[in-house]
Structure 1
Amino acid sequence: MIFLFAPFGMPLIQFKPAGVLVCRGANMSRGDQLARQWQIIHAIASSRSGRTAAELADTLAVNLRTIYRDLEALQTAGFPLYTCRSNGKNYWSLLESVKGQIPIPFTFTELLALYFCSDLLTSLQDTVFFEALNSLFQKIRSTLPPESLQYLSTIQKTFTVGKKQYKTYGNLSTIITCATEAAMAHTTLQLVYYSMSRKQETERLVDPYHLWFYNGTFYMVGYCHTRGDIRIFALDRIKTIRPTQNTFVVPEDFDVDAMMQSGFGVAKGIPEHVQIFFDSSSAGYVQERVWHQTQKLFPQPDGSLVFEADIALTDELKMWVLSWGPSAKVLSPPQLVTALRNDVLKMAAQYTGISLPEEPSPTIPLS
């Protein structure tokens, strides 16, 4: 499991026999203790007859002394491990009382991992999903033995999930529920929707094809009868919603992933080949991530970088480029260069009070 590896040079954690945790530097071997101990628990829990120390050492490619040290650490931490002898060998297993508490189809380690992920639910707070998942996590908590919860608490002290900006959905539970039920039942919705770009409310008839949670926001993807096209609706901008008596069939060729691929976020459009130059101060950061499925990176001798991708020219793309400040420069296409130049001139005028002439609007407007 990824969360058990020390991210970004974070010190790794090791159990000592006394149950005390000590930090060690990032120069430890790749088989760091927490990750390996997790793999040991998983291997033992997934085996009906248990595992020998030799089998564990072979599976994890470490020596027997390391395995015995890890098993001792897990027992000290409170995991209900025991050994039984069969055919002249000692097999390590979990107590049957622990296995018996686990509802099918979840395994012991799957429940541990699932419960650990409860910290990821902040962005779903005040939604019916949060309430249901929170209830599930409470049930998982009651299923896990106290020793396992103590071990999870230890792990959680070494790893924190950063909280991004998110929207509050306390007053939107009815809208979310209605949209979800309509999408599942293939029922057309009648709604009043506020368009942020047009700053106005309009009545719409929408066939909800798909619900999408992206970057802290719930969206409904569906066919808008008013516009005669597939559109994306932010659920928090729906003012009123009600199901109609009409039903629909989702087109067989509808593919939400393919539909979103051209965009740089939520907005979609016709993709253009984009080239962006990043100087040496930002090139390393750009290389660390996959920003778009079609991206190609071309490192330059001076440490700079050219980013290329086929992306729809949306406001989201513009804001991403602007977020890099003067370290990024769009090379092509010309209409994106012009749009960004005009935005930068307007920003400069706000801070300097000096207005410079803008270039004519792009012949191909941004999506």
Structure 2
Amino acid sequence: MRGTQLARQWRIIRLIENYKRGLSGNELSHELGIPLRTIYRDLEAIQEAGFPIYTEKVGKSSYWKLVDTFRKDFPLPLTATELMSLHMSRDILSIFEGTIFQESIESLFNKVKTVLSPETLRYLENISGRLKIGFASCKDFTSCREAITEISEATAKKRCVEILYKAVSARNETRRKIDPYQIWVMNGGFYLIGFCHLRKTVRTFAMDRIKDFNVLDEQFHLPRDFNLENYLRTAFNVMRGEPEKIRISVSSAAAHVIRERIFHPTQEVRELPDGGAEIFLNVPINYEIISWILGFGSAARVIEPDSLKNRIRDELRAAAANYDKPLAAGEAFTKKMPARLS
């Protein structure tokens, strides 16, 4: 509800700033298809947040307008909502603290601030403070800042790179020559997608697992038939593999989760008579999909394939067994992740 209200108020601001003469309450109501009473409540909330709008009487009608000084305050042709988006983008990129991307957006906004009046800055702070972007978890990219910066540049210039890589499941590091096709951001992580000359195929590499690198003078040509979207379709999140058809039944208590979100491009949802739902996916069976299913707890049940059903059952039994015997005082929990899940 709160997110819907903010989105609606954002649209009101955008409409007002696009009309120099302003818009009446009735015009806003007609444009957005919502009751006039709701429009007035939103306009009042926008003013209370400090946004520079006011009413001007023209004949028998009152028009809501943007304060002219706000329009003239910025030397570039940016709208008020574009300025607010720039301001809030700092929140979005905050998870990449320690990288050139987060530092660049801070540098850009600091330059913008130098040409804004204190009043305009206060408007931005007030309205932006009403919408915060949070993240469940993120990585510390400080140690791989240089790799992210220079390999990103190598990708743009189509220059080969040599990396020393430590995979999660590997005991030793391997040195590889890579044609860097794409830098990809997923679930708060930076990934390098490129052709691996060691494995003779396109692979995905976590940037924070690159222990050393060297940008080579050699250039590469991006294959015409490479399509990033098609490449990523064979992964549920990051880990790729041979896709299999998966069918999962979700109880009515948790069915809203799969109705309201898109987890994969192949996703299909079918309603069940009891209020639950079934979700169909075509994804590889690996740690990512297993962890996702386990996250539903007892509210989800794998219908097919049997291989996935058995692996979920085994994991639940193993997890339950962890609680059968209490740890002695000072005893450490040392059970490792099963090899099939790592």
Q: Does residue 6 of structure 1 match 2:6?
A: no
Larger relative contact order (Cα-Cα within 8 Å, sequence gap ≥ 6): 2
Task: Tell me the equivalent position of 1:23.
Answer: none
Once the two structures are TM-superposed, the CA of residue 247 in structure 1 deviates from its matched residue by: 0.9
Task: Tell me the equivalent position of 1:300.
Answer: 272
Give distance in 1, aligned partners of 2:34 and 2:251.
43
Task: Tell me the equivalent position of 1:359.
Answer: none
Task: Tell me the equivalent position of 2:333.
Answer: none
Task: Tell me the equivalent position of 2:21.
Answer: 50
Query: Residues 247 and 278 of structure 2 are in contact (CA less than 8 Å); yes or no, is this contact kept in structure 1?
Result: yes
Structure 1 59/69 Cα, relative in aligned 2: closer, same or farther at 3 Å? same
Following superposition of structure 1 onto structure 2, how do residues 1-367 of structure 1 map, counting pairs within 5 Å? 6-7=2-3, 37-47=9-19, 49-53=20-24, 55-56=27-28, 58-61=30-33, 79-81=51-53, 93-352=65-324
Secondary structure, counterpart of 1:115 in structure 2: helix
Structure 1 55/286 Cα, relative in aligned 2: closer, same or farther at 3 Å? closer
Give distance in 2, aligned partners of 1:261 and 1:126.
30
Specify the code of the residue in structure 2 equivalent to 1:237: R
- Cα RMSD of the aligned pairs, angstroms, is 3.2
Give distance in 1, aligned partners of 2:253 and 2:265.
24
Once the two structures are TM-superposed, the CA of residue 297 in structure 1 deviates from its matched residue by: 1.9
In structure 2, runs of 5+ residues without a counterpart are 326-339
Structure 1 37/346 Cα, relative in aligned 2: closer, same or farther at 3 Å? closer
Specify the code of the residue in structure 2 equivalent to 1:310: N
Equivalent residue pairs, number: 327
Structure 1 36/274 Cα, relative in aligned 2: closer, same or farther at 3 Å? closer
Secondary structure, counterpart of 1:351 in structure 2: coil
Moved more, 320-329 or 56-65: 56-65
Specify the code of the residue in structure 1 equivalent to 2:230: A
Give distance in 1, aligned partners of 2:67 and 2:252.
56
In structure 1, runs of 5+ residues without a counterpart are 8-29, 354-364
TM-score by length of 1: 0.77
Moved more, 61-70 or 170-179: 61-70
Give distance in 2, aligned partners of 1:308 and 1:77.
44
Secondary structure, counterpart of 2:149 in structure 1: helix
Specify the code of the residue in structure 2 equivalent to 1:344: L
Query: Residues 115 and 140 of structure 1 are in contact (CA less than 8 Å); yes or no, is this contact kept in structure 2?
Result: no
Aligned sequence identity (%)? 36
TM-score by length of 2: 0.82
